[in-house]
Amino acid sequence: MTETEIVNLDITVAIPTYNRASHLPQLLERLLNQTKVEHLNWEIIIVDNNSTDNTAEVIRDSQTKWKGNFPLRYFRETEQGAAFARLRSVREAKGQLIGFLDDDNLPAPDWVAQAVAFDKEHPQAGAWGGQIHGDFEVQPPEKFERIQAFLAIREHGEQPHLFDPDNLRLPPAAALVVRKQAWCDNVPQRPILTGKLPGLLVQGDDYEPLLYIHKARWQIWYNPTMHSYHQIPYWRLEKDYLLSLARGCGLCICQLRFINAKNWQKPIVFIRTFVGNLRRLLQHFIQYKGQSQSDIIALFEMEFYWGSMMSSLYLVKYYLSSVLSKKCK
């Protein structure tokens, strides 16, 4: 293990957060009341990614009133982006396992216990995600199940199975457990994909570390006994948000596929990504011609295919900007 503290706890629950102070008390209450954890040594850490609301005050108040027999720690990560908040979480975590929970994702009462139990049965697992159910403020649109995975909803049945990283079928970071050793030994300290930033909507930051872990031959599992509930407000089902989400999820595709590609494979990946998604885009347009503007699900899918096609060109732009920045230095 490189550049890490000695790990001596069973699990660290890490909560990266940004401007969601109102969500944190309920999440902390859920964690405080976890069941079947009496035998565990664990902790909670909050990583505040430059919040401008009263997140720090809320956590200080929670620490003052804390009744748990495990610590609640707080850190502020000044480099903006969810990827950097997760990296800080890993650096600060004292657990052998790190259970990431988004600040709007509420765990079932036995989430922590089930996370640790899975580790005992699957020592080759580098990461595992569970069932994430939608907790909707308003009714989702018809046929929403076709795109629900883009909003971090995962309901893949009651049997554990391996994910398929080679085809980018992976668990989201909204409720994800990683083995600290697998992360620290393989995930770079400077991510390619940082997470949503002002003016930059590219997604994929939660998949990037998993692909490095997979590349090192660790397994990525689906654990159906871990349940959590993603709180989805009305505005996340509105057209503007959904289309920006679809585009952002598409724009990272080529970069993600390059992570596990050998150098000789990269030109092939580049061309297949562009041509394959151009074909999907045209097929979708023909299938939904005259309907896509009124069918938000079809429109979402078209925007995703467009973003995936453009991800090849976005990758060229990324490398050119990297080269130019190095020359300027």
Cα dihedral sign, 218-220-221-227: positive
Report which of residues 3 and 72 the model is more confident about.
72
- Which residues have CB under 8 Å from 156's CB, separation 6+? 131, 222, 224
The chain-wide mean pLDDT, for the chain, equals 92
Across 307-320, average pLDDT: 84
Across 114-140, average pLDDT: 97
The percent of residues above 70 in pLDDT, for the chain, comes to: 91
Q: For position 105, what pLDDT does the model report?
A: 97
User: Is the model's pLDDT at 319 over the cut of 90?
Assistant: no
Q: For position 8, what pLDDT does the model report?
A: 86
Q: How sure is the predictor about 16, in pLDDT bands with cuts at 50, 70 and 90?
A: very high
Give the CA distances from residue 213 to residues 12, 117, 160, 220, in Å, rounded to whole numbers and listed in that order: 19, 21, 19, 8
Gap between the Cα atoms of 112 and 115, Å rounded: 5
User: Is the model's pLDDT at 287 over the cut of 50?
Assistant: yes
Summarised one tens digit per residue, pLDDT across range 231-257 is 999 999 999 999 999 999 999 999 999
CA 70 to chain centre: 25
Q: For position 326, what pLDDT does the model report?
A: 56
Q: For position 135, what pLDDT does the model report?
A: 97
Q: For position 269, what pLDDT does the model report?
A: 95
Helix and strand numbers, DSSP H then E, in the chain: 10, 9
Lowest mean pLDDT among 68-72, 121-125, 315-319: 315-319
Q: For position 2, what pLDDT does the model report?
A: 41
Residue 258 parent element (H or E): helix 253-259
User: Is the model's pLDDT at 164 over the cut of 70?
Assistant: yes
Lowest mean pLDDT among 64-78, 96-110, 178-192, 276-290: 276-290
Q: For position 195, what pLDDT does the model report?
A: 72
Q: For position 318, what pLDDT does the model report?
A: 65
Residue carrying the six token digits 């940082």:
194
Across 246-275, average pLDDT: 95
Task: Please identify, in words, the CATH class of the domain defined by 9-236.
Answer: alpha beta
Cβ–Cβ < 8 Å for 41, 10: yes
Cβ–Cβ < 8 Å for 126, 182: yes
Domain segments of the chain as ranges:
9-236, 241-328
The percent of residues above 90 in pLDDT, for the chain, comes to: 86
Q: How sure is the predictor about 314, in pLDDT bands with cuts at 50, 70 and 90?
A: confident
Any idea what the Cα angle at residue 296 is, between residues 292 and 298, rounded to 5°? 50
